[in-house]
Amino acid sequence: MPPAAADLTIRPAAAEDLDEVLTLVRELAEYERMADQVTFDDVTFGRHLFGPDSVAGVLLAECGSEVAGFALWFRTFSTFLGRPGIWLEDLFVRPAFRDRGIGRALLADLRGRTEGRVEWAVLDWNEPAKAFYRRLGAAPLEGWEIFRWPPAGGAAPA
């Protein structure tokens, strides 16, 4: 793997980054073949990330003046560990910036933000992502499946 970009910066996103974050989410949805599932309202999305009662955070990876990728995350808590952790909801590096250590840098920053564990889900078909995570020492949880309840009043997931 080539060394990380010399001009790489990882920083928390701010309200003025909302348009870029929304663009990254849409690019991720395209990559994951789920663009038709992106139904958020931009204002509501921004309020949940940057409002007074924000529920999630975003890290941006920048190479020079260009945004190369992002990690969207939120806090969790493990009753067994008795410690807070992080759920990584999305990790995405734009194709032109891949293989430069940017995903690794985003994950390292996240890991430094908690004394607990960092967890995430991976689409079953995404072999490049699974191989990347295994190279970092992460492993799938055996015996666990993810269940989802739709938003109140929403349709059950397909």
Residues with active-site annotation: 133
Q: DSSP letter for 158, please.
A: -
Structure tokens at 134: 């295994």
Q: 42-50 and 18-31 are packed helices; what angle lies between their axes, rounded to 10 degrees? A: 110
Entry field: residues in the chain: 158
DSSP state of 35: G
- Classify residue 82 as left (phi > 0), alpha (psi -120 to 50) or beta: left
Token pair of 107 as six digits: 């994950």
Please give the Cα distance from 138 to 156 (Å, whole number): 31
CA-CA distance, 46 to 152, in Å (whole number)?
21
